[in-house]
Each structure stands twice: as C-alpha cells, then as structure tokens.
Structure 1
Amino acid sequence: MKAIVCRAYGAPREVTSVQSIGAPRIVGDNEVLIEVHHATVSHATGLLIEGRYQKSPPFPFVPGTEGVGRVLRTGSTVRHVQPGDTVVFICDWGAYSEQLVVHATTVYPVPKTLDPLKALALPISYGTAYTALHWRAQVREGDSILVLGAGSGVGLAAVELAAQIPNVTVIACASNEGKRLAALRHGAQHAVDPQHLIEQVKQLTHGLGASIVFDPVGGDLLLTSLRCTAPNGKVLIIGFASGTIPQVPMNIALVKNLTIHGFFYGQYIGWTPANERERYADDMQSMMAELLDMALREAIHPGITQVLRMTQLCDALDALHGRAVVGKLALAIHGDAR
C-alpha cells in the first residue's frame, strides 16, 4: 500500500516521500482496521515531522493524526462500528497510509447522510474547541469570547461552537479581511484585526473586555489580548501557531484576577505518557456524537477547504505556514483530490 513515510526529523521536503509499505496484518481485540480515504494536514503535522511536537514516533514513521475512511475489520471487543461503516478517527500517527489500525476508542461512526469530508473536519478542530470551551472554560450565557486565529480550522470551530450558546458575544480576530469575513459567516458577531485589537475589543464590550480568550496563536498576539481581557476573565492557551511561546506577564494576570488555562486536547485522546484515552472514551464518544449530529442538522458547518494529492503534503504545509489557508486542508489517501 502507499504511504507518506518520514525517515528522520527535519524539513518535510527533505525527510518525507510517498512510498510502498506493507499493509497491516494484525488487528487487536480493541482495534479497528480502516481503509483511509482522506486525512487532514495541520500545523502539528509539520511540527511532528520536524521533531518539535510532544510526540516522538520511532523511525521510519507515517505522519497524520486524523482521517476518514471505511472500516475493513474490527477486533473481538469492538461493538460501536462494524465492517463497511464510514468512520472518522484520531490516531497517534499513521493516517497518511492507505490502511491503518486504530484504537477503537478514537474511532467514531459517521451518519450515512453526512458528507464524509464534513465529518473529517470534526474530531480535532471541533473536538478541541468544544472541550476547551465547555469542559475547561465552562462557557456560559453572557460571556464575551475573543477567538484569536479565527480563520484557522480550530479558530473557525471555536467561533461556530461559541455562537451556538445563547447570549454569548463572539469576537473573531484574524489577520486578513478574507479570514474575518469567513469568521462572520460562521457565526461571529464581530471581526477585528490584530493591529487594533485592544481598542476594538474594548469598544465592542463597552470597556469591560472579553471574559474568555481562545488562543491557538500565542506570540505577541496573546500578550496583546491580555490587555483587553475582562477582570476575572479566562484565557485558554490552545497552541502556538505563531511559532513563538510567549512569556506571560503575571502582573497583568494578578491585577486582573485572570485564570490562565493551559489546554492540551491530547489528554483526552491518548497523546500523553499516561495514555488516558480509555478513561475519557465515553465522554469523547458522546461529544463526537453531538458534533456529528450538529453537522447533520447544519447547526455547524465543518468542511475541508481543499483536498490535495499525497505528493502535495509539503505544499499544504507551506500554505499553512504562510497563513494562506482559511479552514482546513486534507490529503486524498485512498480517494480523489478536489
């Protein structure tokens, strides 16, 4: 079967290639063999290949942590999916291969009437946004939520999910007009630019500031956002797409009585040394069922902006790093590029 193989840490163009490798032969009791049709590309993909992510796969390895496809075989204890089902899944790595064995706890059945490419956008971006907002920050009616990096996959997901909560004000911050317009189409009431963030947020919140900041960007933008966070506000640290981990001035956190939440979605899906995927499996299955239902009812509008060929992984990563992408990109693994 075909797969994208990474043979060493380094620049993706130098260390990855499409190769022919052996197909999986063994499926454990609590595992699922999946024919992978499409898989997403994210900033984390590049970090994993470069050796700058939390995980360190043994060489050679196949990147890719999220995909959609068809179940070929299930282990003896698996009951929630069966051969022939369309599923989305999260894996430690390996999604850029035509077949993959995945732990059953992070495999989720897709409703027959839902476009699989819409389902593909849900597990990581929408899952991260949902669990961060609801499980970690415990968002409630009346909150004002500032979403940084609102044109990204996880940013747009946070905008859409926050907009579902009654009486919540969603303020989207994005780097260009196209991304700000996309955020407005996805449910934000307001869209602001990073250059005038403080004065715009203060004006939109009648001088109070945002009660919750959702930040997948990091860098100087986080430091700026602290100055327009409301007293007693909450700051969700989702990631560092800017490439810079900021040094937070704790005096601001002190005088504003802020709560700063570090948030790692990987805790719920087995990406920590403790591997707690089974502990959170029921909660994750319920959350994903809710997201899939919301997508089916068109309460949210997940989707893939563009599907590229397997040989275009590096082009996809370049586009992401150049901030030229609104939403999410995917690779056609056992399917067609669009």
Structure 2
Amino acid sequence: MKVLHCKTFGAPREVLSVEDAPMPEITRPDEVIVRVHYASVSHATGLMIEGKYQRKPPFPFSPGTEAVGIVEQKGSAVTHLSVGQRVACICDWGAYAEYLKLPAYTVYPIPDGIEYLSALPIPISYGTAYLGLVQRCRLTPDQTVLVLGAGSGVGLAAVEIASNMGCRVIACASTATKCEVAQKAGASDTLTGSDQLAAQVKQLTGGKGVDIIFDPVGGSLFASALRAAAQNAQLISIGFASGQLPEVAMNIVLVKNLTLHGFFFGQYTGWTPADERSIHAGMMSRVMAVLFRWVKEKKLNPDVQKVFSLDQVPEAIETLHGRSVTGKLAVKID
C-alpha cells in the first residue's frame, strides 16, 4: 500500500515522503482495517510531525488522526461493524495511508445519504465541540455562547451546535470572511478579535456578558474574552491554536464566580497513557449517532474547504497554519 511516512521530526516538507509499505494485518480481536478514502488535516498533526505535540509516535509513522473509508477486515470481537460498511474513525496516527488498522472502539458507521467529506469533520471537530459544550458545560437553550476561533473547524462546529440547540452565539474570528462564514453557520453576531472584545460583547449583551466562552485559541484572546464573561459564567479551553498559553487573571475568576474547564478530547479516544477508549466507547457512539443524525436532518453542515493529494500534505499543513481557510482541509487517499 501507499503510505505517507515521517521518519524524523521536522518541517513537513523536509521529513515526509510517500512510500510503499506492507499491508496491515489483524492481530487482536477488537481491531479493524479500514480502506481510507479521505483523512483530515489538523494543527495537531502538524505539531506531531514537528515533534512538538505531547504524544510522539515511534518512527517511522504515518500522520493523520481522523479518516473516513470502508471496513476492509474486522476482528472476531467486533460486532457493531460489518465488512464493506462506510465508517468514520479516530486513530492515534496512521490515517495518511491507503489502509489503516485501529481498535474498533473509535470507528463509527456513516449513515446512508451522508457523503464522505460531510462525515469527515464529525468525529473530532464536532465531537470535541459537542462534548465540551453539552457534557462539560451543560449547555441550555437560554444561554449566550462566545466562540473564539470561530473560523476553524472546531470553532464552526461549536457555532453550529450551540445555534442548533437554541443558544445565542457570538462568533469571534480573525477576518471578515471568517465572520461571514460563522454567521451562515448560525452565529447571531460576529466580532473580530481585538483589545475591545470585552467592550463589544458587553454592548451586544446589554452589559451582562456571555454565559459560556468556548476557546480553542488561547493566548491574549483568552484574557480579552475573560473580561466578557457574565457573572457565574463558564470558560472552556480546548486548545491553543495561537501557539501561546493564556495567562488567567484569577482576580476576575474570583469576583465573577467563574468556572474554568480544561477539556482534552483525547481522553475519550485513547490519547492518554491510560488509554480509556474502551471505557468511553458507548458514550462516544451515542454522541456520534446524534451528530450524524443532525447532519442527515440538515441541522449541521460540516464543511471541507479544500482537498489535497497525499503528496501535497506539507502544502495542506502550511495552508492550515496560514489561517487563511475556514472549516476543514482534507487529504484524498483512495
């Protein structure tokens, strides 16, 4: 099979190459092999290639943590999937290859009528947004949600999910174009990030502020958003796309009686030393079923803006890091 290999950490253009590799084989009863059609491009994948991610795979490895395709083989213990079934999946790495072997706990059926590229953003981007907002923050329809990085894949997912659940959504993105996309995704109001963010949010909310702040950006934007929080608000941090860790003004947290959530989606997908994917498999399957149902009902509209070939992965990562795109980028494997 063809596979994109990384043999040492470094800049993607310098360390990635498309090579031939042996086909994977089932070695455990809970495994499946998926023939990959498309895989996602993410900031985390770029960091993993550069050796800057918290997890460092053994060499050589194929990057890519999210894919869609068809079940080629399955182990004897796998009962919720069938050979030939279309699926979306989350893996440790390895998605930039024609065939992917992984535990079946994070492999989810794609309902009929949903195209591969519409299914691709669901497991990680929409799964992260849904679990963060619904499970951790207990989102209710009467709340106002501020989404930072609203032009990103996970940011747009948060806008859509909160809007679909009846919330008022204020989307914050870096450009007018991204704000326009967020508005089409369901945002009631849009803002570009600046030092005036808190004042702008207060003006939009009659001085109250927002009930939930969804932050995949970090850095100085978090500090600005903190001042936009209403009394008893919740802030959920899911990542640091800005490349900077935020500094938290704990005096504001104290006087506003705020709740800070750190949310690592990888806890549910096996990306921790404890590997809890089997523990959370039932819950994750239910969440994915809800999200795919909403896609089929046209309540969610997952977006893949551009598709690259396997040998164009370095270009795809550079495009993503350039922050000129909205939604997701994909790699066509098969």
| Fold shared, TM-score > 0.5 on shorter chain | yes
- The answer to whether residue 100 in structure 2 is matched with residue 104 in structure 1 is no
Measured after TM superposition, the shift of residue 27 of structure 1 is 4.2
Q: Map of 1:1-338 to 2, 5 A cutoff?
A: 1-166=1-166, 168-195=167-194, 196-334=196-334
Distance across 2 between alignment mates of 1:4 and 1:73: 21
Q: For 1:122 and 1:160, how far apart are their aligned partners in 2?
A: 12
- Distance in 1, Cα, partners of 2:118 & 2:227: 36
Query: How far apart in 1 are the matches of 2:99 and 2:204?
Result: 49
> What's the C-alpha RMSD, in Å, of the aligned pairs?
0.9
> Could you tell me the TM-score, scaled by structure 2's length?
0.98
CA distance in 2, matches of 1:285, 1:158: 19
1:254 counterpart letter in structure 2 = L
- Flag structure 1 segments of 5+ consecutive residues without an equivalent: none
Bigger mean CA deviation after superposition, 126-135 or 313-322: 313-322
CA contact (8 A) 2:26 2:75 kept: no
- SS of alignment partner, residue 100 of structure 1: strand
Instruction: Tell me by how many angstroms 1:319 deviates.
Output: 1.2
Q: Write the distance in 2 (CA, Å) between the matches of 1:268 and 1:302.
A: 22
Q: Cα deviations across residues 41-92 of structure 1 (Å, max 9, x unaligned)? A: 0100111111111211111111000000011111101111111111000000
Aligned length: 333
Shift, 1:26, TM fit: 2.6
Paired residues of 2:3 and 2:98 also in contact (CA < 8 A): yes
Residues 36 and 95 in structure 1, CA contact (< 8 A), matched pair in contact too: yes
Q: Deviations over 1:266-291 (max 9, x none)?
A: 00111111111111100000000111
Deviations 1:146-188 (A, max 9, x none): 000000000000000000123x210000000110000000011
- Contact preservation (8 Å) 1:27, 1:33: no
1:27 and 1:101 in contact (8 A); partners too: no
AA of the residue aligned to 1:23: M
1:101-144 deviation per Cα after TM superposition (whole angstroms, max 9, x unaligned): 11101000111211111011100000000000011111112111
Alignment partners' CA distance in 1, 2:99 and 2:267: 25
